[in-house]
Amino acid sequence: MIDKDERDQSLESPLCDICKHHAVEIDTEIDELLETIWVLREKGKVTENHYRESGAGNVILDNLDRLKKMNLIYLKEGHVTFTDGGEKHARDLIRRHRLTERMLTDLFDIPRGRIEAPSCQFEHILSEEVTDSICSFLGHPSTCPHGRPIPPGECCKKLTKTITPLVIPLVDLMPGEKGRIVFIATKDRRRLRRLSSLGINPEGIVTVNQKLPTVVIHVDETEIAMDHALVSEIYVKRITDNG
Amino acid sequence: MSFIKQKKKSEEQIKNIILIGNPNVGKSVIFGILTGQYVVVSNYPGTTVEISRGNAGFHGNKYQVIDTPGIANLLPMSTDEVVTRDILFEEKDSVIIQVADSKNLARTLLITLQLAEMKIPFILVMNMMDEARERRINIDFKKLSKMLGTQVFPTVAISRTGTDKILPAIEKADVSTYEFKYDPFIEDAVKKIEGYLPDFPISKRSVAIMLLSEDMSLNKWLDEKLTPQGREEIQGIIRDTRKRYPDPLEIVINKERLQNTDRLIKEVAVIEKAPRKGFMYNAGRICMHPVWGVPILIAVLTLMYFFVGKFAAGTVVDFFMGTVFGNAVEGTGIINPFIARVLESIIPIKFVQDLLVGEYGLISVGITYAIAIVLPIVAAFFFFFGILEDSGYLPRLAIIANRVCKWAGLNGKAVLPLILGLGCGAMATISARILDSPKERMLVILLLALGVPCSAQLGLIMGMLAGLKSYAFFIWLFIVLGSMILVGFIANKLIPGETSDFILEIPPLRFPSLKNIAVKTLARIEWYLREAVPIFLLATLFLFFIDKVGILQIIRDMAAPVMAKILSLPPEVTDSFMMGFLRRDYGAAGLLEMARKGMLSNNQILVSMVTITLFLPCVAQMFVIIKEKGLKTAVAVAAFVFTFAFIVGGLLNFALNALGVVL
């Protein structure tokens, strides 16, 4: 068998030009300040006095002028309030940060203790489109793993009534529903081969016929019964009849 | 092509025709049509577990036709898939007939592409055209044939539509001209590996691709044909290629094949959106419905109980036993008293008379049991079973039973060999090969030996219990199923290994063809007569002699304490148990005869039925177990089953007495 290091090396690629370019542009300090204001606001701490009491606010007090100058916040009777632009910027940051946390815990099973650092990096670099895709992929989650709310994005608003993630385990489809296979998340090659030989491959369209006592799905013209464990490794995009 | 013909004629060699294809596409039907030889055909995947060979001829050309177990891919995963793939390696000068389910083009073409790669001459038979048409799948066969560069024939084999064109096409069969290239890195590796390979009956390119896919089952071939250095070089190439892809090579290769089949399908097939709401479709859904599936299963069992138990084992056996064969001593019936009288007048030797019509007479017991008792039951059972098989109900039963099987370390797929065991335990033991892990095969073999009665035995049990209180049958069923689940549960913990995933293709529910069922039932009856009757006669002869020399009495005396104390059964029951080892149905037939004579009380009937069901498998089945699993395992299984049967029988007897149940 191949050892892991070998493969990882082969996949390594140098930063592309765009990455280098962006790395310079990002002003992470401002981002952190906005985030702190947002988090304090969630705790009901919105005045300069509050900031002074909680140690975390001091850094904002030192930078208030800078933020005001950038037209991100304004001060009114000791209350720190976001401008429209500042509000949006902060909300997007928080959204990206907390979605990243969700993704790292839910999708990749990274222990909660280790998600903070990567989340802090991701929040500065994700584009809106990518953020919305991650959000949809995760099923428009409403809270981060620590239980704090994730501000909804455009993608969530479109689906305010039915919160349906884009990519879900096949086993989550209801009987009668159809899905297009996106990927099969198994490390067991025999499984993959077996599924493949029965016509269960990425891009294939499957219909769930029943879920009890055993899951039965329909692929092409074949009906296949299989264990729950297997079906939950197949990820699909739900297909509705109107497209 | 003319070259091939000349070569063939000069060498007078018999060409092989190898039938290959996905499971349940009709290979065996086509085998039957080509050779005129009958092999069991059913509507569920995995009916054929062994290779059948037969002969066919056309225009003076002689062929050997080989039927193989179904495969999903020429990269084998289970034992039966290795069997099929190895045939391609071993049989030189062969033509392949790929038999395909026309409704499932993608899976068909995945195999076709691999055959094309192997550069073996083949033709493609697109079977089940009727079902494809029903589903509005329109395939342009001419175009498909042109693109593949091989002959393609649409057929409906079960009604022989289009099958007459197959044999004439064999001579013109040629290697496919279809070629496609993989990713450059893979192509590169293929070329390098080819350089190290010796000649194979299939193309070096295809072997190289198999090696890149890390097909472990090839190792034995490589050991034979390659030097250690050559193997080392090849391993190096594979290792280097692997580094180029994030996924295992097998998956990369498979992906490219799938993309190619997709491309082909788009060219040749138009699939109109078809309403798929036929009666059979819905009926098929109901059979595996979480709620309706169970009452349907109960209905099927009840129907079988009435047909095989009440009607065949009751009415028909009574007629044959009472009215037709009868008993010479009691002077009932026709045949036995008649033969006895004739014998008395022509051969006045007591020994010969006893041998033929005595207490253990070849005719009065051997033939009578075989024809009057067992034959009607077996025939009824095979008929009923044939309907179940051909309708496609059995895989649906597997879905219902999957959960229960899980308790015993098995999955729903195990239902197929277990149910098959109701036909014949020995054959079912072989068919355990369709299961994926050695552990599951062992479990099924054990359970078959333990608790699955074979057809005649089941019929007899149903027939005898039908005379008791109505719940007697359910006590029997409960104890036997319970024992199997319990033993499975414990064995699951003891036998190392893993339970494989449950994935089972569910064939469409079909109206069984009466003709196929008739042919199948007759073939099985013929098999029964050929296999069972001689053993019945031998067993009777054996009983006759050990009775004459007094050994029988000694054995009875030895067994009597067990029989009497533990099971509360009369000593004569020992005979039936001994005969049950030779053939289970013989043993049960003996018990039926005793019950008919009023030698057993109702409680005794139930106890003896439970015990003989769990008792040792017959000799034939023992031999198969030895063949599949070795002598040591077989002896262990036998010892366990033997002890277990008496313990359960004893417990039941004790419980009946303690609770004061009178059936």
Q: What is the domain extent for residue B547?
A: 294-325+359-659
CA dihedral B259, B262, B268, B269 (to 10 degrees): 180
Whether residues B490 and B405 share a domain: the answer is yes
Q: In this complex, is the C-beta atom of B72 within 8 Å of any C-beta atom belonging to chain A?
A: yes
DSSP calls for A130-150:
HHHHHHHHTT--SB-TTSPBP
Q: CA–CA distance from B639 to each of A179, B175, B546 (Å)?
A: 52, 54, 24
User: pLDDT category, B7, cuts 50, 70, 90?
Assistant: very low
Q: In this complex, is the C-beta atom of B275 within 8 Å of any C-beta atom belonging to chain A?
A: no
pLDDT higher than threshold 70 for residue A165: no
Q: Contact, A125 vs A97, CB < 8 A?
A: no
Residue B320 in any domain: the answer is yes
Q: How much of chain B exceeds pLDDT 90, in percent?
A: 21
Q: pLDDT tens for residues B402-452?
A: 888 888 888 888 888 888 888 778 878 888 887 878 899 999 999 999 988
Find the mean pLDDT for residues A204-224. 87
Whether residues B373 and B265 share a domain: the answer is no
Whether residues B507 and B371 share a domain: the answer is yes
Min CA distance, B205 vs chain A (Å)? 21
Residue B332 in any domain: the answer is no
CB-CB under 8 Å, B137 with A193:
no
Whether residues B158 and B213 share a domain: the answer is no
What residue in A sits closest to B402 (Cα-Cα)?
A: A214
Q: Contact, B79 vs B231, CB < 8 A?
A: no
CB-CB under 8 Å, A225 with B502:
yes
What residue in A sits closest to B134 (Cα-Cα)?
A: A221
User: pLDDT category, A212, cuts 50, 70, 90?
Assistant: confident
Q: Which CATH number fits domain A1-164: 3.40.50.20, 1.10.10.10, 3.40.1800.10, 3.10.20.310?
A: 1.10.10.10
Find the mean pLDDT for residues B530-543. 85
Residue B352 in any domain: the answer is no
pLDDT at residue B155 in the model? 93
Residue B353 in any domain: the answer is no
Mutate to test the interface with A, among B399, B434, B500 (most CBs of A within 10 A): B399
Q: Quote the CA–CA distance of B271 and B275 in Å, as a whole number.
A: 12
pLDDT at residue A22 in the model? 47
Min CA distance, A15 vs chain B (Å)? 19
Sign of CA dihedral B112, B113, B118, B120: positive
Q: Quote the CA–CA distance of B642 and B629 in Å, as a whole number.
A: 18
A-facing residues of B in 233-252 (CB < 8 A) are: 239, 242-244, 246, 248, 250-251
Q: In this complex, is the C-beta atom of B133 within 8 Å of any C-beta atom belonging to chain A?
A: no
Sign of CA dihedral B403, B408, B413, B415: negative
pLDDT higher than threshold 90 for residue B59: no
pLDDT at residue B78 in the model? 67
Q: How many CB pairs under 8 A join A and B?
A: 114
3-class DSSP state for residue B456? Answer: helix
CA angle at residue B167 from B166 to B171, to 5 degrees?
Answer: 110
Q: pLDDT tens for residues B111-135?
A: 999 999 999 899 999 999 988 888 8
pLDDT higher than threshold 70 for residue A163: no
In this structure, the number of other CB atoms found within 10 A of the CB of residue B519 comes to: 16
Whether residues B497 and B597 share a domain: the answer is yes
CB-CB under 8 Å, A222 with B399:
no
User: Hey, where are the domains in chain A?
Assistant: 1-164, 167-239
Q: Contact, A222 vs B505, CB < 8 A?
A: yes
Min CA distance, A174 vs chain B (Å)? 14
pLDDT at residue B654 in the model? 93
Q: pLDDT tens for residues B463-505?
A: 888 778 878 888 998 999 999 999 999 999 898 887 778 888 8
What residue in B sits closest to A193 (Cα-Cα)?
A: B251
Q: Quote the CA–CA distance of B647 and B562 in Å, as a whole number.
A: 10
Stretch among B26-35, B85-94, B314-323 having the lowest mean pLDDT? B85-94
Kindly state the helix (H) or strand (E) to which residue B226 belongs, with its residue range: none
Of B170, B197, B215, the one marking the end of a domain is: B170
Whether residues B238 and B316 share a domain: the answer is no
Residue at A74: amino acid letter: Y
Find the mean pLDDT for residues A215-224. 87
Which residue blocks in chain A are alpha helix, DSSP H?
Answer: 4-11, 17-25, 28-42, 48-53, 58-69, 84-102, 116-125, 128-137, 154-158, 189-197, 228-231
CB-CB under 8 Å, A194 with B290:
no
Whether residues B19 and B154 share a domain: the answer is yes
Q: Contact, B608 vs B410, CB < 8 A?
A: no
Q: Which residues, in sequence order, are bridge partners of residue B138?
A: B270
**Residue B239 with chain A: CB contacts under 8 Å:** 2
Residue B89 in any domain: the answer is yes
Stretch among B9-13, B130-134, B322-326, B571-575 having the lowest mean pLDDT? B9-13
What residue in A sits closest to B110 (Cα-Cα)?
A: A197
Whether residues B646 and B542 share a domain: the answer is yes
- Judged by phi (left if over 0) then psi (alpha if -120 to 50, else beta), residue B333 lies in left
pLDDT at residue B469 in the model? 80
Q: Which residues, in sequence order, are bridge partners of residue A217?
A: A208, A224
Q: What is the CATH number of the domain that holds B208?
A: 1.10.287.1770
Find the mean pLDDT for residues A45-61. 77
Reading the block at residue B465, the tokens are 């219990």
Q: Quote the CA–CA distance of B275 and B80 in Å, as a whole number.
A: 36
**Residue B508 with chain A: CB contacts under 8 Å:** 223
Q: Quote the CA–CA distance of A85 and A74 in Å, as a whole number.
A: 11
Q: CA–CA distance from A54 to each of A37, A57, A73 (Å)?
A: 12, 6, 19
Q: Contact, B56 vs B63, CB < 8 A?
A: yes
Whether residues B147 and B195 share a domain: the answer is no
pLDDT at residue B13 in the model? 64
Residue indicated by tokens 């099923």: A139
Residue B644 in any domain: the answer is yes
What residue in A sits closest to B252 (Cα-Cα)?
A: A193
CB-CB under 8 Å, A197 with B110:
yes
Please give the tally of structural domains in chain B. 3
**Residue B503 with chain A: CB contacts under 8 Å:** 194-195, 198, 224-227, 230
Q: Measured in Å, how far apart are chain B's first and last C-alpha atoms?
A: 76
Q: Quote the CA–CA distance of B420 and B444 in Å, as a whole number.
A: 11
**Residue A195 with chain B: CB contacts under 8 Å:** 503
Residue B279 in any domain: the answer is no
Stretch among A108-117, B15-24, B58-67, B338-347 having the lowest mean pLDDT? A108-117
Tell me whether 0.95 is exceeded by the ipTM: no
Reading the block at residue B116, the tokens are 């094309």
Residue B346 in any domain: the answer is no
Q: How much of chain B exceeds pLDDT 70, in percent?
A: 96
The residue among B104 and A43 whose pLDDT is bigger is B104
Q: CA–CA distance from B12 to each of B18, B87, B198 (Å)?
A: 19, 21, 27
User: pLDDT category, A26, cuts 50, 70, 90?
Assistant: low
Q: CA–CA distance from B480 to each of B299, B421, B447 (Å)?
A: 20, 14, 10
pLDDT at residue B81 in the model? 75
pLDDT at residue B432 in the model? 84
Query: Is domain A167-239 classified as CATH 2.30.30.90?
Result: yes
CA dihedral A196, A198, A202, A203 (to 10 degrees): 150
Whether residues B85 and B194 share a domain: the answer is no
Min CA distance, B72 vs chain A (Å)? 5
Residue at B629: amino acid letter: K
User: pLDDT category, B276, cuts 50, 70, 90?
Assistant: low
